[in-house]
Amino acid sequence: STVGVSPQTSLLHGAYFPAVLTFKGVSVTLENNTIWKQFCQCGTEMILTKQGRRMFPYCRYRLAGLDPNRMYSLVLSIVPSSPFRYRWNMSRWEANGPTEHQSQGLIRAFPHHYSPCLGSDWMSCLVSFYKLKLTNCFQDQEGHMILHSMHRYIPRLHIIPVLDGAAPTADKPVVMGPESITFTFPQTEFMAVTTYQNFRITQLKINHNPFAKGFREDGNNSRLQRIHPPAVSSETQTNLLKPAEPIVLLQNQPAVEPKKDDTAIVLLKANSGVRRPPKARPNKSSSSTGTPVRSIGFRKRRRRKIRSRWTMYYARAWRRAAAAPKPAHSPSLTLAMQPELDEIEGLLFVSFTSKVKLLIGACLERVEMAVSATMRKY
């Protein structure tokens, strides 16, 4: 029930993971498409916690083609993208029976904290849903997105013209009128988990999320470098370094879906934060901070905490290999990085060739047909 797909074929990739979607004159750019694609090809995982966990990557869009003088609310929903429950088995995801929970009739949604705003305002800044948090706590009252662990989801951006300038609240649900549009980027699909399953995902998070900088090994940060695990046979190492098979993205809906008229959107609790119009556009540049100094106590503590669990040895080997991007100063680097590509190529062109091509072909066809159909309709 799991299928591997090679992300290496850039042509297919570009066609299937478009950075820009356009519908009814409105175009939406997934601003951080590059990082989404990196996660997507490993099989994105998002952590759920009781108190709520932010997404990384999060949904960040740039809008164009809106009516500058019109008021819009921007809302993100995260909907199930498959009817299955999954399990992580032998380094890959596999469907493990149907989901226990049926989808609720109403759509939960998370209003962007600027909503509502003039079209000109939305278009003059990046629209980032970094505040959105995911939780597995069903009694959550904090306004977080409630998801089921071990299930697959996909975020959708809803652009909803509104008449008055009142901020959307739970009391006053936003209604998806006939002029509302929904955009869905296939590459933002993810698996909800409570603990990371795929180590490649953990590494991507550590290497790209600024808040996880403390776990990086590159540069001056050598958290685990001074611990020397017992040697591991190269055979075992190779097997462990093999990447997990990403799951093929099977969309039941087109990437751009015209909304059904009057679809109700239930808003989560209104954000406590102040609603500010996006006047200044902080086109957020990544600030490189100075190199942190590690305390002696930290090193000792970490050293003591390391257990002799065999998985840790492999984990460290992986880290060392994955941490350094380009310089091949370590033999384990080439060993780790090279098989990666070989295995993926093998998966696509040997084991799963026909199945994958068929699936992707069907997907593309379905998307194209749906889009052109709706375009004609309008």
Q: What is the dihedral of CA 206, 210, 211, 217, to 10 degrees?
A: 40
Smallest separation, CB 325 to DNA (Å): 18
Report how far residue 90's alpha carbon sits from residue 141's, in angstroms, rounded to the nearest whole number.
Answer: 37
Coil/strand/helix, residue 24: coil
Report how far residue 272's alpha carbon sits from residue 149's, in angstroms, rounded to the nearest whole number.
Answer: 27
CB of 48 or CB of 317, closer to DNA: 48
CB of 309 or CB of 326, closer to DNA: 309
Smallest separation, CB 309 to DNA (Å): 7
Smallest separation, CB 308 to DNA (Å): 9
Q: How many helical (H) and strand (E) elements, i.e. helices and strands, does the chain have?
A: 9, 19
Report how far residue 294's alpha carbon sits from residue 57's, in angstroms, rounded to the nearest whole number.
Answer: 27
7 C-beta neighbours (distance < 10 Å), count: 18
CB of 195 or CB of 334, closer to DNA: 195
Smallest separation, CB 192 to DNA (Å): 9
What does each C-alpha distance from 221 to 78, 292, 294, 324, 330 come to in angstroms? 35, 8, 8, 12, 17
CB of 105 or CB of 210, closer to DNA: 210
Smallest separation, CB 351 to DNA (Å): 25
Pairing of the two strands 151-161 and 190-193: antiparallel
Which residues, in sequence order, are CB contacts of 234 under 8 Å at separation 6+? 335
CB of 69 or CB of 139, closer to DNA: 139
Report DSSP letters for 228-249, one per residue.
-PPP--HHHHHHHHSPPBPPP-
Coil/strand/helix, residue 114: coil
The contact set with DNA (CB under 7 A) reads 47-50, 53-54, 56, 87-88, 136-137, 149-150, 193-197, 202, 205-206, 209-215, 221, 287, 289, 292, 294-295, 297-299, 301-302, 305-307, 309, 312, 315
CB of 228 or CB of 305, closer to DNA: 305
CB of 123 or CB of 201, closer to DNA: 201
Report how far residue 32's alpha carbon sits from residue 286's, in angstroms, rounded to the nearest whole number.
Answer: 13
Pairing of the two strands 263-267 and 107-111: parallel
CB of 72 or CB of 86, closer to DNA: 86
Report how far residue 347's alpha carbon sits from residue 344's, in angstroms, rounded to the nearest whole number.
Answer: 5
Tokens, residue 211: 């808040």
Are 12 and 156 a contacting pair, CB within 8 Å?
Answer: no
Smallest separation, CB 238 to DNA (Å): 21
User: What φ, ψ does residue 283 adopt, rounded to 5°?
Assistant: -65, 55
CB of 141 or CB of 287, closer to DNA: 287
Smallest separation, CB 93 to DNA (Å): 11
Smallest separation, CB 230 to DNA (Å): 16
Smallest separation, CB 242 to DNA (Å): 19
